[in-house]
Structure 1
Amino acid sequence: MGHAVVLGEALVDLLDTEYDGAPVYRQAIGGGPLNVAVGVARLGGTVQFVGSLGDDVLAGRIRAFLTGAGVGLAGAVTVAAPTALAVATFSGPEPDFRFYGEPPSYGLLDADQLDAELVSGAEVLYCGSIVLLCPATLAAARRAWSLHTGRRVFDPNVRPRLLTGPTALADLRAVVAEFAASAHLVKLSTADAELLYPDQPVESVAAYLRELGAETVVVTLGADGALVASGPELVRVPAPKIEAVDATGAGDSVMAALMADLLADGEPAGPDGWVDRVAFALRVAATVCESPGGATAMPTRAQVQARFPG
């Protein structure tokens, strides 16, 4: 089995909570791509995290967490910046993020710092999320995409609060189209689709991304499961019925499961194979939603099997 490379952000989430009747922030290691990398490792895949990390105590905790989770750091670089923070508030199970840190520690990996050998030798390459809004790391992602000859997977993971300026959304839409056009797999959420392509039903968004060139598109629909566009038909895959405690990392775990299966078993046998794999990925996501936390909630295959036998 080969290795996967996940190119994106790692940061620290500050979760708004209470202790002893007073408001406090609970630290958690975060970042969508970091969650994906940890998820792949937990599901048995060999994975390297590629990105920029700060030069402070928090960055040391990120490194220790990733190493402890079995994620390689050969392609991670240290930059002279404090670790970016994402403050998460909850009105339900879905978190609302506000980001702090300028320049962001996660957006300083440039194309020259990219470990070309690590990227080109990967079986699966993930690019995506908020690093695409950072010019230096967008250039690094473009270089990685061009060097890679295996399976490329892409997740826009849009954070609307970071889209500042009159052209920000249009610029991101162009970047999404650029990466989707040569992607093996694009995974996006309903929220991503609605923000990028307002007034378009998710079925149309999936069809559009496939017309651009994406081989398979998976749109996660929260409690309603996911939409899979791989063959001529769009297929809806239901999610297990659960009581969600914390949806942080659920979408990331879907991508992690699909990547881990690509590493373990290669290409699925036709559109039906993708449906089966998405069904498993939704069981992984359901397991994540039943526990608080994002990266810390990523399950092993044995835990998913125990929770959803059969």
Structure 2
Amino acid sequence: MDTVIVIGEALVDVVDRPEGRVEHPGGSPMNVAVGLARLGRSARLVCALGDDDRGASIRAHVGASDVEVDATAIDRTSTAVATIGEDGGASYEFDLDWRLDPVHVPAATPLVHVGSIGAVLEPGARAVLEALRVRPTDALVSVDPNVRPSITPDRDAVLATLEPLFAEADVVKLSDEDAAWLWPDRSVDQVLDGLLAYGTALAAVTLGGAGCAMASTRARITVPAPRVEVADTIGAGDSFMAGLLASVLARGSAPTALDADELGRLASLALACAAITVSRPGADPPTRAELPTGVVSDVD
């Protein structure tokens, strides 16, 4: 099986809970790579890690799901201190070093996924964009901005960095919070219209407990989320992204001009992955064996 390339930050989440502080590997791109691997896709994570205990914990964590690691050496592994609110939502404070060596994308790569802090924070963001521009012509591109205003507060600068990525992308997914920050005057439908205008084939906006909205050049749908008891929302969007990409790859072709039924199948798989993740603490994406029987065939 050809290997998906995921480019972006891997860090250690330091989570303050009522029972005390705990640490575990995190970072949106890392979570997507693990999520893809657990759903049966071969994945390689291109990131930056320190030669320290936290870096070792990240390598061990992704290695347990058979994710390959290609890491630029940095002085210390980055961290994100997450505080969990009463509603299970997480807020973050980051300590980041984002440098990246030039990225090699092999000829047989089916998809390159980029996003989050790594897509917009310099100096590494330049290497991310260059990797997309020199990728094999058959490789799909997906982008998840997962914006972090506490790190990159200049909206205009973030948009200026994201727009060339959107122009390269076949799939773009954002949360409703991302969309509201990037384009505060746009409705969800207007956000989807804007993403399709960049040339994106498949655009998705997650809506928290309300599910997601998804659009192609041919159809547009809104799908409700499965009802689950929420432990916390850490990694929910990343599991959605992994499920969406696994389903896109299982189709065996670019997600061009999808109809409403095809969009619905993609959305159902992605939402099922997110629902499993929010039902348990931390960013813990599901394995293929944990998927509901109604959607598992969409990753084969």
Per the TM superposition, whether the score is higher than 0.5 is yes
| Gaps in structure 1 of 5+ consecutive residues | none
Instruction: Describe the SS at the equivalent of 1:287.
Output: helix
SS at match of 1:174: helix
SS of the equivalent of 1:162 reads: coil
What SS is found at the alignment partner of 1:251?
helix
Question: Moved runs in structure 1, 4+ residues, more than 4 A?
Answer: 306-310
Corresponding position of 1:108: 99
Corresponding residue for residue 143 of structure 2: 154
Higher normalized helix content (fraction of residues): 1
Aligned to 1:163: 152
8 Å Cα contact 1:156/1:188 also seen in 2? yes
- Distance apart, 1:55 and its partner CA: 2.0
Cα distance in 2 for residues equivalent to 1:265 and 1:234 = 19
Contact 1:287 1:307 in 2 (8 A): no
2:126 corresponds to which residue? 139
Of 259, 262, 266, which aligns to 2:245?
Answer: 259
Matching residue of 1:184: 170
> Would you say the 8 A contact 2:171–2:202 is kept in 1?
yes
User: Structure 2 counterpart of 1:196, which letter?
Assistant: L
Question: What is the letter of the counterpart of residue 153 of structure 1?
Answer: S
Read off the aligned partner of 2:84 and give its amino acid letter.
Answer: F
Aligned to 2:72: 77
Local SS of the residue matching 1:28:
strand
Q: Which aligned pairs between 1:211-230 and structure 2 lie closer than 5 A?
A: 211-230=197-216
Is the aligned partner of 1:304 residue 2:294? no
Give the Å deviation of 1:49. 0.1
The reply to whether residue 13 of structure 1 matches residue 4 of structure 2 is no
2:278 to 289, 296, 310: 289
Matches of 2:166 and 2:262, distance apart in 1: 21
- Checking the alignment, whether the CA contact within 8 Å between 1:10 and 1:31 is kept in structure 2 is yes
1:187-198 pair list within 5 angstroms: 187-198=173-184
Alignment of 1:208 with 2:208, yes or no, is no
Mapped pair 1:33 → 2:29: yes
Name the TM-score, length of structure 1 as normaliser. Answer: 0.89
Is 2:265–2:295's contact at 8 Å kept on the other side of the alignment? no
Tell me the secondary structure at the aligned position of residue 68 of structure 2.
coil
Contact (CA 8 Å) 1:2, 1:263: kept in 2 or not?
A: no
Give 1:283 shift.
Answer: 0.7
Across the aligned residues of Structure 1 and Structure 2, the Cα RMSD in angstroms comes to 1.9
Q: How many angstroms does 1:86 deviate by?
A: 0.7
- Tell me the amino acid that sits aligned with residue 222 of structure 2: R
Cα pair 1:8 1:128 within 8 Å, conserved: yes
Q: Which amino acid in the other structure matches residue 267 of structure 2? A: V
Task: Give aligned-pair identity as a percent.
Answer: 35
Q: TM-score, normalised by structure 2?
A: 0.92
Structure 2 unmatched ranges of 5 or more? none
Following TM superposition, by how much is the alpha carbon of 1:136 offset from its aligned partner in structure 2, in angstroms? 2.1
